[in-house]
Amino acid sequence: MSRDIAGKVILITGAAGGLGAALCQRFGSAGARIAAVDIDADRLDTLVAKLRSSGVEALAKPADITDSGACEKLVAATLAQFGALDGLVNNAGISHRSLLADTSPEVIRRVMDVNFFGATNLTQAALPQIVARQGFIVAVSSVAGFAPLTGRTGYAASKHALHGFFDSLRSEVEGAGVDVTIVCPSFIRTGIGAAATDGGGAPVSSPRITTGGESSPEEVAGKIFEAARTRHTLLLPDATAHKAWWLSRLAPGLYARIMKRRVGGEFPGLP
């Protein structure tokens, strides 16, 4: 059975731009009430004003999801505003582009804090409400969540960790009527590539190399919406993700060689 999204309260992280903003707009257009979360308060206010102008009930909550106490307050604020919490979309994320030999431990720790612990902090805070409402949880992972990606060891580790966490969580809550969906896109035209850091934590100046083209945030948001509505457990939203999924399982050595050849050009010193 598919879910009726109209009237449901959905909390979405990383909401101020890119895929997060597109998710807010897509769920909002279906009649959902949106609790939009991001660390960028100004851009978040702009987004929520746009949502409200189109008739969407929306709440802006700037917060750092790496703080578990802040996550508990986010859930409390959502309940105070809307009286319920039916869905959680863990979308917030950051990346780095650097070989491990050139990467400081602080950079990897920061990527893990946002991508993994941010998602687990908020999921744990929201879980009692999601279970009570027989709601759903979405985790936005990546192709790097099930396959290797040169020059992004910390990023890939954070996304692999999401799979272990959310696949295991599904086994705990599916009997209570809660759905858990993991989303694994390849490349999306968002700000995450431009906002990536180098191994020392400074912004990367060179453009990232992509393969298979880039999807628009709106296209991926629409597919995530449908996956949540129709209770899918795994979403591979583009052709590159599908090819990567099967090739990395059937011929992992070949996949690794192809991946390294295509994105390794970002790192001239790579053997």
Catalytic positions: 155
**CB-hemisphere CA count at 13 Å for 150?**
20
Give the residue from 239, 248, 40, 12 showing the smallest Cα distance to 140.
12
Q: Which residue has the tokens 């999924």?
A: 245
122 and 88 in contact (C-beta within 8 Å)?
yes
Query: Which residues contact residue 246 at a Cβ distance below 8 angstroms, ignoring those fewer than 6 apart?
Result: none
Neighbours of 191 (CB within 10 A): 15
6 and 139 in contact (C-beta within 8 Å)?
no
Say how far apart CA 34 and CA 38 lie, in whole Å.
13
Output the six-digit token pair for 83: 């009286």
Q: Which residue has the tokens 């999801």?
A: 65
133 and 86 in contact (C-beta within 8 Å)?
yes
Give the residue from 182, 176, 67 showing the smallest Cα distance to 127.
176
